[in-house]
Amino acid sequence: MNKRAIARVTAAAVATALPLSVISVLGTGAAVAGEALTTAAQSETGDGRPASDFRDAATVNDPFPTRAAAEQRNYVEESKAAWRDYVYQAEDGSNEAEQATWKAGDRYKRMEERLVHSEAMNRDIPIVTIRARDDHANAPTIYLLNGADGGEGAANWLRQTNAVDFYGNQIGNVNVVIPMEGAFSYYTDWEQPNATLDKGGKKQAWETFLVQELPGPMESALGTSNPNRSIIGMSMTGSTTLVYGEKYSGFYDSIGAYSGCAATSGEAARTVDIVLDRGNATYEQMWGDRNGAVALENDALANAADLKDQHNVYVSSSTGLMGEHDVPSGDRLNGFLPGSITPAVEGGAIEAVTNVCTHMLKSKTDAAGITRESNNLVYNFRNTGTHQWGYWQDDMFDSWPTISEGLFPGNGAEAVRQRDAGKADYLQKNPGMGARGSTPVSSLIPLQESVSDALAEQYGEAAE
């Protein structure tokens, strides 16, 4: 098989956010202290930007008081709502001892499930929020996007990371908003309908929903007057957040893109096909001709120069070589030897390709003069690591100084302290043996070179 053929085959695996067998080993507690406020949804933007910036206002309902109330509404399939385990207390009452006034089925304090209606898509969407513990009236908002399964399966921020504890307790003065639908959608506006993914509504319009419909009403419902907001994505949505930064420069005050492939059009559309195949959808349904205008508009690599007006951007990728989260001696597998197979075979190949994409992106932003000095554009290239949640949790910590600079300008020293404290707390609770047990897979190097050649041919520049 020649180098171009290898690139085509392997690039098809990029950006999938696979629910790897290794990612189901963390059971983070979702309980956080503090009272939740319940305010009715309002149509004002509440962020200092004109209401005309929002084409349609989403309807944000009050949070469900209990799991039973949410299930009775029956607006989301229960089989795709396992994330509720991290929003509501255990039905068997096993955790009531933590707080004598809690009752089984009630929601954890400051954890909320809200039904949000999108006018653009004419459908009800589940949103989970982590309410700010401190000074909620002045708390900025972080929008966390899940990967390819949209949070409908096991691969979501609540189950696979300690985001609840990090943002909710260790930082404490931010609101977090997590959509729990949107599988295989790239959180973009689709050109054509798809009977499965539309879920009975109009054709998907996630970009319209997330950028135009949701922020004003949601932030008003959260009761904050702080106009600052961030958006963070990983794998599939790592490319989405970059596109948002290019199209809507400054709408988000900071952006995180973890292990995404910025290249999505033309030959690189093969990196998208595998995601859409899992959702019984096609590239043409989403963006039309893969060399057409809509496809190019949504290619973050092709439009890298448009990041010139976006500040506080963190972009990461690993090499695909097995690292501390992939080995049985590490913090994720708890000694489970077979768990290393999936990250070594699948996760390594996927991350090797995203690594090439991310180096290509850096080459283009460097050429455009978009740097750490000019824009606080920070790249984190790890020497080891595969395509899995352990590294995205690392990114959650490592990106915080960059994300925080947009939310709390000039708060750098405190952000570094919070980052380090978050890491230390996690490692204390999940020690593992770290990289001492790593087994690098050197065969990925030719793979990276092949993909680099293919992307360079399309985009006209070599990766670093």
Condensed to tens digits (0 to 9), the pLDDT of residues 9-51 reads: 333 333 333 333 222 222 333 322 222 222 223 333 334 443 3
Condensed to tens digits (0 to 9), the pLDDT of residues 365-412 reads: 999 999 999 999 999 999 988 888 889 999 999 999 999 999 999 999
Phi, psi of 316 (to 5 degrees): -135, 160
What pLDDT was estimated at residue 271? Answer: 86
Condensed to tens digits (0 to 9), the pLDDT of residues 110-126 reads: 899 999 999 999 999 99
* % residues pLDDT > 90 (the chain): 64
Mean confidence (pLDDT) of the chain: 82
Query: With bands split at pLDDT 50, 70 and 90, how would you rate the model's confidence at 340?
Result: low
Phi, psi of 460 (to 5 degrees): 85, 5
Contact 119, 55 (CB under 8 A): no
Phi, psi of 327 (to 5 degrees): -100, 155
For residue 293, how many C-alpha atoms fall within 13 Å in the half-sphere facing its CB?
A: 0
- Kindly state the tokens that stand for 134: 């401190």
Average pLDDT over residues 311-319: 95
238: three-class secondary structure by DSSP: helix
**pLDDT exceeds 60 at position 83:** yes
What pLDDT was estimated at residue 449? Answer: 55
Q: Cα–Cα distance between 283 and 265 in angstroms, integer?
A: 10
Comparing CA positions, the residue from 81, 284, 116, 119 lying closest to residue 201 is 119
Domains and CATH numbers, the chain: 3-459 (3.40.50.1820)
Regarding pTM above 0.75, the answer is yes
- Kindly state the tokens that stand for 318: 């690993």
Average pLDDT over residues 55-64: 87
Distances, alpha carbon 188 to alpha carbons 129, 185, 210, 286, 348, in Å: 21, 6, 9, 8, 27
Average pLDDT over residues 147-152: 95
What pLDDT was estimated at residue 55? Answer: 55
Place of tokens 């963390």: 26
Count of C-beta atoms within a 10 Å radius of residue 135: 11
387: three-class secondary structure by DSSP: coil
Comparing CA positions, the residue from 71, 46, 43, 69 lying closest to residue 57 is 43
What does the chain come to in residues? 464
